[in-house]
Structure 1
Amino acid sequence: MSAAPAEDLVKRWESEQARLRQEVVEEDTEDWQRSADFSGLERVGGVDLSFIKGDDVNACAQLVVLSYPDLEVLYEDSQMVTLTAPYIAGFLAFRETPFLLDAIQRLEKNQPELLPQVVFVDGNGLFHYREFGLACHLGVLSGLPCVGVAKNLLQVQGVYKNDEHQSQIAALQKGGDSFPLTAASGKVLGKALRSSDKSSKPVYVSIGHKISVDTAVRLTHTCCRYRVPEPIRQADCRSREYLRIHFPAADT
């Protein structure tokens, strides 16, 4: 791709992100979110894309729906997809969202009673260059509450993986402990969460849509058997297993 078309594409995508960003709801909208034990929450979703090794175009788009609070798999959908949009840092959602949204819409059409009440996304939400990561994109387009949970720190808006950040991580004593990820503007874009007593490495939680950051952090912690929330972990495991079965020679 030559420089000019890439520049045009970036401008178009920036404009689209800015437009959709206006639709993000950064507060709790559901009754279950306001309950101390999330009473009324019965189904949590997780999405992920897994790629064939050495191939950044063909992937397995995965949706899982788990029961809550038991975290047992109620539904799974594995679909091979071909990504057409190029990868450009900060615009991952334009590559991945269409296929994840398709999976949610298939479920809504075929088994609406299993539609998740909240979706966990392997990636960021507000904690993003322009406060509109994958979790926001999917949330706005699906209309569902979404939570972004990233395994690695995206160094944006004045948040850096520096000595201060490392000392804050070291101060997280137990599962459920967290500290805010505060932008240079002073806005809290997410929180670093020690998700499990067993894992000293935090995850980075930010809201996608229709949920507050504190509720997102609390919910993420309740969904963690290990470091990564179970809906995302199951989506990752099942998409990788699908590729192993159907593309054994690719060594995923």
Structure 2
Amino acid sequence: MVIKLTEEIEMNDDESSKLWFYDKKNIIDCIPNLVGFSENKIKLRVKNFFFLNKTLEYEITSFVGGGYIEHKFKNEDSFATLLITFNKNRKIISLSLSYSGKFERQMSKILEEMMKNLKRKYLEQKTVNKKGETISSKLSSLSFVAKLVSTSKLIYSDKLDSGKIDITPFIEDILHKFSQYPIIYISGFNEENTFRLLFVNGELKGVYIKISDKEFYSEEELLKLKGLFHVSVYANLLKSSMVI
């Protein structure tokens, strides 16, 4: 069985649209359940049996034609293709996302969300004034997070059960323990929720929280996070002016 999804988006600028969809970082940024990625590979987390999770790794290859861009995701057991075609006459971008292989039920949900994200993020980037972009909104982008982590060192990693330990005191303790570092990035995730926090000299500069596919940019939402989180703390090695 082959899963296939299609979508159309209104196009204003042919060249800028091609540049956006050709950038693999933008495509990767739209993929849910991501647990790891590089320029040419991604790792996805899917539920296998009952509460067991499985990580799937895909190699990415990209092609550019006269009026289309194609991104292929492939491993030994499955194959996915994202085809983007640009119709100058109709001023329409057509998206086609197909998948065949194992874990069809799980991948169907992932592809549906990916398609929604592609349309939403493409339209958002056309209207967002980059000068007014906040650190919190940047933390929603995996490409920004990847750059942040690549220029940082991991200084702490542990699990946090929000049912036993309040998140706010936990974070305050982290900041106190590693106060010698001017820039600290804290990330946490579980199956349903994600949080990303950026501190400069102990002051919260950016917050991104995702609860059951809803995104928030307010620290008050930290109190709503529930469950067991995998937490990583990074000390950034750049000057604060280069980060914010």
TM-score using structure 2 length:
0.28
Larger RCO (CA under 8 A, 6+ residues apart): 1
- The structure whose residues are more often helix, as a share, is 1
TM-score using structure 1 length:
0.28
- The structure whose residues are more often strand, as a share, is 2
Larger Cα Rg: Structure 1 or Structure 2?
A: 2
